[in-house]
Structure 1
């Protein structure tokens, strides 16, 4: 709203400018249309965007009474004469809002996805997932650790999202100890030298 108020102040100053000749005032469109046909339209330049009428800077046709009684007193529009048109053009250059920068979304390539897979695989392979469980007797767990529980703990502890099918776990882990759970990842991911497959180290401790 600040730039609109500033523009209106400029308009008020221009209308009071002593450099405007008396002949310009006599040829004011208001006086001209007042002696014409009753339903004649008046061309005006909008200084502010008005719903269902037009945007700021546009030239529109309105009824003389509407312009005289509403638009002009509030400086929402000015007559379409060269001096006002020049003023509006200069005002728009200064206060026209900047265009929103277009953001282009670049789709991931297959190479990018493979790099993400490799980074996740290294993180899982070098980490140790620690779980605490209650036991019954002989280090047997009260409730075995399932594949879904491992997936949830990987997301919570290691901040890596995997699916249950990424883990090769034929049966739940049912005792305390440290386990190497094989990972089922895309074969295109290069393995470190001397390593046969990606694995996740899971350590289950007494709670």
Structure 2
């Protein structure tokens, strides 16, 4: 009976507390209506530039917790009140002078012409060197014939454009090269250039040309196979590889 009486008393207390809470809600409706209102952001002045927030000296609105836990302990921002506004303004005048606006001056036609002329003279006075790997035995066998040795991978316009950018630091387009067919033999060549007529030709030159030299790199395949003894690459596998693949594989 004692346990039953204790349970009844506890139940009455719970019901009484529930009624009191309901009365409080009726007595203070504004208090419970404002429970869903979010916090108000604070206006602060940044002392340093922060990415995605603002520059130093600007006034921004941040959450109170972000200002209290991150910005204020690290002195990255101060409250937006009169004394801090004046202090930040004076400090920026002393330690950080006003940034001068950088004016971008557009290049004139004369400046562009001078740059083109300088690049064109570099193309004319330089010589582009490319190399191809060959099999010495096959090269000797073909050397006895009248026809020249043809490259397994001829030199194309795109390769010349890439080599000009790499060796001469001049950027040209494939349309600037007159190359009807790729270069498929060893030797020296003069590749005509198609440049604007406004660029004056150097003295003694009738037209623009690019000096290209393709030289052979003689490496015996069986010597390469001995060199790469870890992979035990066979002679037949090396024969099937292109020149560029052999070059990049052995880092020659």
Question: TM-score, normalization: structure 1?
Answer: 0.56
Shift of 1:49: 2.1
Task: Could you tell me which runs of 5 or more consecutive residues in structure 1 were left unpaired when the two chains were aligned.
Answer: 1-47, 59-74
Q: How far apart, CA to CA, are the structure 2 residues paired with 1:88 and 1:117?
A: 53
Q: How far apart, CA to CA, are the structure 2 residues paired with 1:77 and 1:204?
A: 71
Shift of 1:91: 7.2
Q: How far apart, CA to CA, are the structure 1 residues paired with 2:130 and 2:92?
A: 62
Q: Which residue in 2 is equivalent to 1:98? A: 97
When structure 1 is superposed on structure 2, of 158-167 and 96-105 the one drifting more is 96-105
Q: 1:158 to 1:91 in 2, by over 3 A?
A: closer
Task: Could you tell me which runs of 5 or more consecutive residues in structure 2 were left unpaired when the two chains were aligned.
Answer: 1-43, 47-55, 60-77, 143-147, 218-252
Shift of 1:192: 1.1
Question: Do 2:189 and 2:212's aligned partners in 1 also have CA atoms closer than 8 Å?
Answer: yes
**CA offsets, 1:32-89, max 9 Å, x none?**
xxxxxxxxxxxxxxxx628xxxx97x9xxxxxxxxxxxxxxxx9577x7xxx7xx975
Shift of 1:101: 1.9
Question: TM-score, normalization: structure 2?
Answer: 0.47
Alignment coverage as a number of residue pairs: 135
Question: Do 2:189 and 2:211's aligned partners in 1 also have CA atoms closer than 8 Å?
Answer: yes
Q: How far apart, CA to CA, are the structure 2 residues paired with 1:91 and 1:192?
A: 61
Q: Does 1:147 align with 2:157?
A: yes
Aligned residues: CA RMSD: 3.0
Q: How far apart, CA to CA, are the structure 1 residues paired with 2:88 and 2:171?
A: 54
Shift of 1:108: 1.1
Q: Does 1:49 align with 2:49?
A: no
Question: Do 1:133 and 1:204's aligned partners in 2 also have CA atoms closer than 8 Å?
Answer: yes
Q: Which residue in 1 is equivalent to 2:167? A: 157
Shift of 1:95: 4.1
Q: Which residue in 1 is equivalent to 2:109? A: 110
Q: How far apart, CA to CA, are the structure 2 residues paired with 1:164 and 1:145?
A: 13
Question: Do 1:134 and 1:142's aligned partners in 2 also have CA atoms closer than 8 Å?
Answer: no
Question: Do 1:134 and 1:141's aligned partners in 2 also have CA atoms closer than 8 Å?
Answer: no
Q: How far apart, CA to CA, are the structure 1 residues paired with 2:156 and 2:80?
A: 73
